Structure 1
C-alpha cells in the first residue's frame, strides 16, 4: 500500500488544524516532581511492584499513553530523545541503527524490557530499538541508575521498560496517520472487558519512503513493518492471569561501502503472567516469557543471519509485614541462545536470586536489596542497593541512591570467528558502583522543581577502537558524572516544562570523553490543553559530542495538535523537526561521510472509536 501526499498541501492542512488543536508531547514525559495529578502515576520498574512515582527513592520518568497516542508513526528513538538525561544516537531515520545512553553510560548499559522480559539481543552489545512497535503500549518507564539488583546483567546505566495496555472497557477503534515521503501507519484495535475478564487484539501496518541518511548521497532508506498483538486475561481481587503474544516484522534499507543494502527483521514475544494472593499480606507473582529477535541481512556484500532467542522464568513472593514495610524475595532464570547461521551458535544460562525490603511512612521511603547471580560463562556476581527518600515537608523531599551493577560480555564480543566481529574470549565482566543525590520541591501554584547529581564508576569497561583493529578489550576504569535540573509548571489549561542535563563520561586512563555523548542537553516545551483541544511546541537541543570526527550540536522543534471532535472522533496533526534541520549524527568510515538525521515530517491523522 502506498499513499502519495503533496507536502505543500499537507503542511497547509496541518496549519489549519493547528488553529483548533494540538497534543501534549513533552508534558507527557513526567517525573516524580510533575503536576499533582501525575504524582499519582504508578510505576513498576523501580521496585517490581506498583508504587506511586512520588514515593520511589530513585529518579524515574514516564512517557504516558496520551503522548504515545498523539502520533502512531513516531518511533521509540524519537520519543526517548525528548528526555534530557538520555542521549539517542541514530545513524539516520526510520529503521536505522540507534543506541540509547542513559546519563552517559554505554548503549550496552541500558536494559530494555517488554512487560518484564529482557529484549537486549546477544549478538551485539545493544538492542534493535528502532524495530520495536509501540501500538499496544500503555506507558514507557525510564529508570535512571543501576538496577542489577532487580534485573541482573546490563542494567548499569538504567532500564527502559515498555508496558502493554490491559483493557478496561469494550471498544473498537481504528487510527490512520499519513505524512510526507509517503509515510503512513494504520492501526486496528478491539478491546473487550467484563467482570474482570478481558481480551485485546491489535494490528498495525507502517511504511515510509524514508530519508537520505548519508551526506552527499541522495538515495533514501525506506522502511516498512507490520505486526499484531493479542492479549487475554482475568484480574480478580485474589488472583490474576494473563497471556499475550506480539509479533512485529518488516524490511529496511541502509547503505554501507557505498552500495545499497537491505535487511529483514522479526521480533516476537510470548508472555504468561500470574498472580495469587494467599491472603491480604502474601502475594505470589510468576512470569514465563520467550523473546525472539531475528535480523537477516539479505542484500549486502556480507549477508548474514543473526538470531537471539531468550527464555525466562521469574517468580517472587511479596510479604507485607505491616502497613509500612514489605519484603520481596524471588528467583529468575534466563537461557539465551545466539547464532549466526554460518559462523557460531552459542548459549548461556543465568540464575539470579534477589531480596528486597521496602519501608514507607510519612517521613521516609526506603528501598534496600541484594542479588546473587550465577552466570554459566562468567561466574557468580553479587550486587546491592540502598536508596531512601526523606519527606522534609509535604512539598519537599530529598533522596539518595547507592547501587552496584554488572554486565557480562555477549556472544558478539567474545567469539573469534569471523575475525571482523572483534571478539575477545578473555574479556572480563564490567562492574560498577553508582552514587546519586536528588531533590523534588513544589512551590505551589502548579510549579514543580527537581534536580539530581550522580556519579557512576565502571571497572573493566568493554570497548573497541581502530588501535586494536576493532577488537574488544577492557579498560581499567571509566567515570560518568552528571547533573539534572528540571522545572515544570501547570496552571489551568496551560503548561510549560524545562529540563537541563550535564553529562561528562570520562575514560580515566586518557581523560577523554566517551564518544557520541554531548555534555550539554536541554529540552523545553509549552502548550495549552483542555482535553478537547490542545497545542504543544517542544524543543530538543544537544551540544557537540567529543568524537574522532567532529559531531556538532543541534536543535529541533516539534509541534503537536489534536481536536477531540466528539467521544468517537479525534483528529490530530504533527510536525516533526519543524525547521527541517539537517545535522550530523555519526561518521561512516566506509564512504568517508557523515550520517545525517531525518528532515521535517509533517503528518495528520484521525481516530474513530466506538
Structure 2
C-alpha cells in the first residue's frame, strides 16, 4: 500500500473514531441556534436569481457568517482554503500573493465577483485574495465549474461571488482588534445604522505586520462605505465605496530573495445597484467603476514597473417567474483600460447578452438551458451554451447533471509584455496574436441533506483547448502561444455531520487528475489528493474549531513535490454580552512546508482577537 493511500485511509479512520463515541453520547437537547442542514438553502450564483440549492444544476458551496466565525481567517484566501476542489496558490505569509484554483483551473480562469461586480485584473487575469479582508463579508458562494453561459470570460474554471454586509435598522458599533505573531496588529472599526429609509455601513480597517520572512512586511489601510435606500415597497438602491491602500515587501523565492523589493497597490471602487422585486419579476442594474494602480520596485536590480488599470461597466438582468418556467436574461457591457510603462496603453470593449430558461416539463424533473453571446473588440465573438438537469428523488435527495462551454480571454500581460532579457531565466515577450482559451465541461452528482447530515458526491471532467503557454521560438525568445490541450477529471466528496447537540464535523475529499492531452504528462501544481477535516464543539458561550488539511500527490517540473498536512485551532469565548475573545493557532504542529516551490509558509503562529459590540 502506497504512503499516499495510507494517509487517506488514516484520515478517514480518524473521522470514524472521533464520530463513534460522540454519536453514542446522550443528546442534551436542541438549542435554538443549533445548526441544521437543508437542501432548501437559497443561492444566487448558479442562475443569477435566488433558487434552492437542491435545484441548482451545478455544484455550489456556501460560506455564511457562521462559517466565517469558525475559521482562522484574516482574508478571503483563508476562508476558501477548506472548500472542496479549491486550492490556494500561496506565496507564503501575509505579503505573499494568494490566488485561487478550482478543479484544476489556473487562477486567471476563475472569476471573482464582489456584490455582482467582476474584480479580476485584466493585466494578469487574477485576484490577490490576500488583499481582501473579511470584516465586511456577509456571504460567499462558490460555483465549481465553467459558467461562461452567464458570466462570460474568466469563468472557465468557476466563479466566486462575495456579498458584503449592508446597514442595520438599529445603530450598532463594533470594535475589533487582533494582535499576534510577527508583530501583527489589526484594527477594525464599524458603525451601522439607519436614518429613515436609508441604512448605512461605515468601516475602517488597518493592518501592520513584519511577516515571517525578511522583507515580508505589510502595511494596509481599507475604507468601506455602503448605503442602502428603500425607494418603495418593491425596490431599493445601494451605493458602495471601497478604498484599499496596501504597501508590502516582496521577498521573492527563497533561493533568490529580493530583500529590498517593494510593492504598492492602491484600489478605488464605486458600485451602484438598483433592485426591484415583485411577485412575478426581479430586475437588477449594476453600474461600477474601478481604478487600480500597481507599483513594483526592486532597487537591487534597477527594476521598476507602474501599471494603472481602469474597468467600468454595467450589468442589467431580469428574471420572469411563470407557472412552469423561470426565464432570466440581460446585457453586460464593460471596458478595460491599461496605462503601463511595460504593457503600454490599450483598451478593450466587450458587449454581451445572456439568456437562461428553467423548465419543469415533468415533475420532479427540471431542465436548465441557456447561453451567452460575447462580442469582444479584439477577439471577436464567443458563444457559451450550458444545459443542465435536476431530478428530485425525494425531499432529501436529488441528482444533477450539466454540460457547458466556456472561455478565457488573454490578459494584457500575455498580449503586450515588452521584450525583456532576464539573464539565465531567458528572454520573454508578449504575443498580440493569441486566441482565447476554450473548454467543454461535464458534471454529474448526488446531493443529500437531512437535519443531521449533509452529503454530496460529484464527478467532473473538463477538456480545455488552446491553452496559453510560454514556448521558445526559433529566435530564442519565449512567447505565449495557444499550444496546449488539457484533460481534467476528478471526483469530490463532501460531508457535514451533526454528531450531537454540541459536536459537528465537516469533511471533504477531492481526487484530481490534470494532464496535457498531447504528452499525457501531469500539469504542475495540480495535486492528486486534497482533503479537509473539521471538528467543531459548541457549549453555551464557548466554541472550539479544529481544522486539518492534507495535500498530496503533487507534481512540479517533472518531479514529485512534497505532500503536507497542517492543522489549525481556534478557541473563542463570549466574556459577557456583546464581548468576545478568540485565540487562533495556525500550523499547530509547526510543520515546515511550501504550497509553491521556493515560498516557505509560516511556522506555528498565534493570533488573539478581541471584539466588542455597542
Q: How does 1:218-257 map to 2 (within 5 A)?
A: 219-235=214-230, 236-256=232-252, 257=256
Q: How many Å separate the matches in 1 of 2:489 and 2:406?
A: 16
Residue 541 of structure 1 is matched in structure 2 by 550
Residue 459 of structure 2 is matched in structure 1 by 453
Could you say if the C-alpha distance between residues 200 and 35 of structure 1 is closer, same or farther in structure 2, counting changes exceeding 3 Å? closer
- SS of structure 2 residue aligned to 1:460: strand
**Cα offset, 1:561, TM superposition:** 1.8
Could you say if the C-alpha distance between residues 308 and 205 of structure 1 is closer, same or farther in structure 2, counting changes exceeding 3 Å? same
Residue 385 of structure 1 is matched in structure 2 by 386
Residue 404 of structure 1 is matched in structure 2 by 405
Residue 578 of structure 1 is matched in structure 2 by 588
Residue 290 of structure 2 is matched in structure 1 by 291
Q: Given that residues 39 and 448 in structure 2 are in contact (C-alpha distance below 8 angstroms), is that contact kept between their aligned partners in structure 1?
A: no
Residue 495 of structure 1 is matched in structure 2 by 504
Q: Which moved more, 1:243-252 or 1:168-177?
A: 168-177
How does the TM-score come out when normalised to structure 1? 0.88
**Cα offset, 1:499, TM superposition:** 0.6
Q: How many Å separate the matches in 1 of 2:102 and 2:589?
A: 27
Q: How many Å separate the matches in 1 of 2:297 and 2:575?
A: 46
Alignment of 1:507 with 2:502, yes or no, is: no
- SS of structure 2 residue aligned to 1:471: strand
Alignment of 1:560 with 2:570, yes or no, is: yes
Q: How many Å separate the matches in 2 of 1:390 and 1:504?
A: 28
Residue 601 of structure 1 is matched in structure 2 by 605
**Cα offset, 1:102, TM superposition:** 0.5
The list of structure 1 runs, each at least 4 consecutive aligned residues, that deviate by more than 6 angstroms after superposition, is none
**Cα offset, 1:362, TM superposition:** 6.2
Q: How many Å separate the matches in 2 of 1:424 and 1:140?
A: 36
- Deviation sequence 1:222-262 (CA, Å, 0-9, x none): 11211110011124531110001011111111224533211
**Cα offset, 1:469, TM superposition:** 4.9
Structure 2: gaps (5+ residues): 1-33, 421-426
Please point out which of 430, 442, 451 is paired with 2:437: 430
**Cα offset, 1:341, TM superposition:** 2.8
Q: How many Å separate the matches in 1 of 2:358 and 2:551?
A: 37
**Alignment size in residue pairs:** 562
Q: How many Å separate the matches in 2 of 1:391 and 1:435?
A: 20
**Cα offset, 1:348, TM superposition:** 0.5
Could you say if the C-alpha distance between residues 553 and 562 of structure 1 is closer, same or farther in structure 2, counting changes exceeding 3 Å? same
- Deviation sequence 1:450-503 (CA, Å, 0-9, x none): 100000111101122578754211124211111101221013221011111001
Could you say if the C-alpha distance between residues 195 and 390 of structure 1 is closer, same or farther in structure 2, counting changes exceeding 3 Å? farther
Q: How many Å separate the matches in 1 of 2:66 and 2:590?
A: 25
Q: Given that residues 125 and 154 in structure 2 are in contact (C-alpha distance below 8 angstroms), is that contact kept between their aligned partners in structure 1?
A: no
- SS of structure 2 residue aligned to 1:150: helix
- SS of structure 1 residue aligned to 2:217: strand
Q: How many Å separate the matches in 2 of 1:45 and 1:458?
A: 23
Q: Given that residues 244 and 271 in structure 1 are in contact (C-alpha distance below 8 angstroms), is that contact kept between their aligned partners in structure 2?
A: yes
Q: How does 1:130-145 map to 2 (within 5 A)?
A: 130-145=130-145
Q: Given that residues 249 and 267 in structure 1 are in contact (C-alpha distance below 8 angstroms), is that contact kept between their aligned partners in structure 2?
A: yes
Q: How many Å separate the matches in 2 of 1:358 and 1:114?
A: 26
Q: How does 1:328-367 map to 2 (within 5 A)?
A: 328-359=328-359, 363-367=364-368
How does the TM-score come out when normalised to structure 2? 0.87
Q: How many Å separate the matches in 2 of 1:485 and 1:294?
A: 41
- SS of structure 1 residue aligned to 2:404: strand
- SS of structure 1 residue aligned to 2:130: helix
Residue 190 of structure 1 is matched in structure 2 by 191
**Cα offset, 1:417, TM superposition:** 2.1
Q: Given that residues 72 and 568 in structure 2 are in contact (C-alpha distance below 8 angstroms), is that contact kept between their aligned partners in structure 1?
A: no
- Work out which structure has the larger RCO, using CA pairs closer than 8 Å and 6 or more positions apart in sequence: 1
Q: How many Å separate the matches in 1 of 2:307 and 2:603?
A: 31
- SS of structure 2 residue aligned to 1:101: strand
Q: Which moved more, 1:157-166 or 1:559-568?
A: 559-568
Q: Given that residues 133 and 248 in structure 1 are in contact (C-alpha distance below 8 angstroms), is that contact kept between their aligned partners in structure 2?
A: no
Alignment of 1:520 with 2:520, yes or no, is: no
Could you say if the C-alpha distance between residues 466 and 137 of structure 1 is closer, same or farther in structure 2, counting changes exceeding 3 Å? farther
Q: How many Å separate the matches in 2 of 1:362 and 1:166?
A: 38
Q: What is the Cα-based RMSD across aligned positions, in Å? A: 2.2
**Cα offset, 1:91, TM superposition:** 1.6
Q: How many Å separate the matches in 1 of 2:454 and 2:223?
A: 40
- SS of structure 2 residue aligned to 1:439: strand
Q: How many Å separate the matches in 2 of 1:522 and 1:469?
A: 40
Alignment of 1:440 with 2:447, yes or no, is: yes
Q: Given that residues 309 and 336 in structure 2 are in contact (C-alpha distance below 8 angstroms), is that contact kept between their aligned partners in structure 1?
A: yes
Q: How many Å separate the matches in 2 of 1:530 and 1:572?
A: 15
Q: How many Å separate the matches in 2 of 1:156 and 1:71?
A: 28
**Cα offset, 1:137, TM superposition:** 1.2
Q: Given that residues 184 and 208 in structure 1 are in contact (C-alpha distance below 8 angstroms), is that contact kept between their aligned partners in structure 2?
A: yes
Could you say if the C-alpha distance between residues 86 and 71 of structure 1 is closer, same or farther in structure 2, counting changes exceeding 3 Å? closer
**Cα offset, 1:551, TM superposition:** 2.4
Q: How does 1:406-421 map to 2 (within 5 A)?
A: 406-415=407-416, 417-419=418-420
Q: Which moved more, 1:597-606 or 1:379-388?
A: 597-606
Q: Which moved more, 1:76-85 or 1:36-45?
A: 36-45
Residue 27 of structure 1 is matched in structure 2 by none
**Cα offset, 1:122, TM superposition:** 1.4
Q: Which moved more, 1:57-66 or 1:529-538?
A: 529-538
Q: How does 1:299-318 map to 2 (within 5 A)?
A: 299-300=298-299, 301=301, 302-318=303-319
Q: How many Å separate the matches in 2 of 1:204 and 1:415?
A: 36
Residue 180 of structure 2 is matched in structure 1 by 179
Q: How many Å separate the matches in 2 of 1:415 and 1:165?
A: 38
Q: Which moved more, 1:357-366 or 1:336-345?
A: 357-366
Alignment of 1:167 with 2:167, yes or no, is: yes
Could you say if the C-alpha distance between residues 103 and 325 of structure 1 is closer, same or farther in structure 2, counting changes exceeding 3 Å? same
Please point out which of 461, 470, 489 is paired with 1:464: 470
**Cα offset, 1:106, TM superposition:** 1.5
- SS of structure 1 residue aligned to 2:393: strand
Could you say if the C-alpha distance between residues 432 and 376 of structure 1 is closer, same or farther in structure 2, counting changes exceeding 3 Å? same
Q: How many Å separate the matches in 2 of 1:513 and 1:411?
A: 27
- SS of structure 2 residue aligned to 1:221: coil
- SS of structure 1 residue aligned to 2:438: strand
Structure 1: gaps (5+ residues): 1-33, 213-218, 588-593
